[in-house]
Structure 1
């Protein structure tokens, strides 16, 4: 099905392609090999996805001096793109290596460059309405559609207050360019250089967002001592770049925590949506670690004690029971 597109690039050179792991979106990927060189073929259905941000933000990040895959050939009508092959070594593949702390420190050094990338018209507005919509993913897909809990028995008033508190905290921060999914599976090591993938949802948003995505990763929990050092390092790097005007480390930590709660509520909901809407069950194992992050932060704030209690004594046991027999 891809021969016409590939022939228009490779001409008379022979090639072979084979499917590789897809991501959490509607995209699928193939590795193409021709003349001992490899490439990535991305199939991104234009009827389901707007591919213009992928192309435009690729240019934006490249101009900012960040490594993203080169786009070698493109057919916007069919949603096919031939990309530079960055290999298969993600940060996630190096987390047990002796170089883990060095890796994280090098990646943290990228945060100011990402944050300073000029805004693009293809970055969606990340405003209160959008943040609220993201929070509703948790309520709809995890609480309602997956656990099937009756809203009459849920803490609706506290939830409404929580959403406003999180939205206010996120909008009060300096607004910068953020990758928006800056975690160990979307950062690759290419011949010693760090590269970004899955960047097409970048927006202008809270300055702590990418740091919390990296350091409170839904797919990997850093040891507490390492987290503490790296959180301090992220503050220092952003502060040195004048991206945290008049912000103390204590304020940074609070913004970091509030942003993390919002991100992890959204992520837990998305993991359920991937199962129910898209038939992808591979993310279910990440729900409980993600809820654990929320619990551990919420219990440190008096106004969020109810959230910690609700998760620990009601929601997490129900999730554990659901996962034990894994019904849809």
Structure 2
């Protein structure tokens, strides 16, 4: 144990070394921690006998890798390319995976001439994900769960980070907005959704897309993965491309039989917009929570772009004009002031 290591960290490092030794019958030459995951999961790059692997490490007291392992099998059987699992110990919380490199969709978006093709190929994958069967390893994505996600915004972004104290009428309108968003999401065709289908969870490896971080998949609204991809918190599509890809996704889902018969594009756009509103409200709260609870300030700069998505949707819905006004006059200025303090 080094002087800076706590006993818990040292014990976990010992358990990690033991798992790797049991698999390789030797200690690997190199174990390097990888940064960047917005969760309790830790990843390490393992070099052994000239080959590279990735180790997923989730201490049992903070999480469980069982869903990761079981849903990996389900996605693979559904012809979705996910990382190959080489070895796993769910009780100890270790999964050894193939190394996919480091090129995500986010890294390829500088090639502007190819962006539309990338997105179309990824939208083409969504029916295969949607048709995957429900699994006991999926959490129920019901009204209570959707509301809990929305409350992350009010609790972590507004109250705990900004110290925002809404008036009574604001709270009443917030309750009505939550119910409207829940109703929209439950009224849609319910399918298997990845739930974080965005530019940092889609990797380019051996000339094909590989889906990672699928372990939180649930059965939920058919538009959810579309809006995760097209209104990404980490990358904003140009308006013309966004309009084209929304139409393209509508045609793909309709031809796959995943939308109700005689669906209209305008109704689909409304469902996309409201589903995106729910997702983006949750996401801004998560970015604040990552900072306050988990000591990860790296996601704070994603809050303003995500709030912009929320503002643009809210101002186009008569019943949500109050939220657009509140964002513009109160919430966004508070966020800007907080971010200035972080510099």
Please point out which of 297, 301, 310 is paired with 2:313.
Answer: 297
Q: Distance in 2 between matches of 1:152 and 1:236?
A: 43
Q: Distance in 2 between matches of 1:254 and 1:111?
A: 19
Structure 1, unmatched stretches of 5+, are: none
Mapping for residues 29-48 of structure 1, pairs under 5 Å: 29-48=43-62
Q: Distance in 1 between matches of 2:87 and 2:134?
A: 25
Secondary structure of the corresponding residue to residue 109 of structure 1: helix
Match of 1:62 in 2: 76
TM-score by length of 2: 0.93
Match of 2:201 in 1: 186
Superposed CA RMSD in Å reads 1.3
The answer to whether the 8 Å contact 2:20/2:27 transfers is no
Secondary structure of the corresponding residue to residue 248 of structure 2: helix
Q: Distance in 2 between matches of 1:231 and 1:96?
A: 21
Structure 1 residue ranges (4+ consecutive) displaced by more than 6 angstroms after TM superposition: none
Secondary structure of the corresponding residue to residue 48 of structure 1: coil
Match of 2:223 in 1: 208
Mapping for residues 103-252 of structure 1, pairs under 5 Å: 103-152=118-167, 155-246=170-261, 247-252=263-268
Q: Distance in 1 between matches of 2:172 and 2:152?
A: 17
Q: Distance in 1 between matches of 2:236 and 2:28?
A: 44
**Once structures 1 and 2 are overlaid, which stretch shifts more, 35-44 or 254-263?**
35-44
The answer to whether the 8 Å contact 1:22/1:28 transfers is no
Give the CA deviation at 1:150.
2.1
Secondary structure of the corresponding residue to residue 265 of structure 1: helix
Q: Distance in 2 between matches of 1:74 and 1:221?
A: 37
Give the CA deviation at 1:109.
0.5
TM-score by length of 1: 0.97
Structure 2, unmatched stretches of 5+, are: 1-12
Secondary structure of the corresponding residue to residue 39 of structure 1: strand
Secondary structure of the corresponding residue to residue 68 of structure 2: helix
Give the CA deviation at 1:35.
2.2
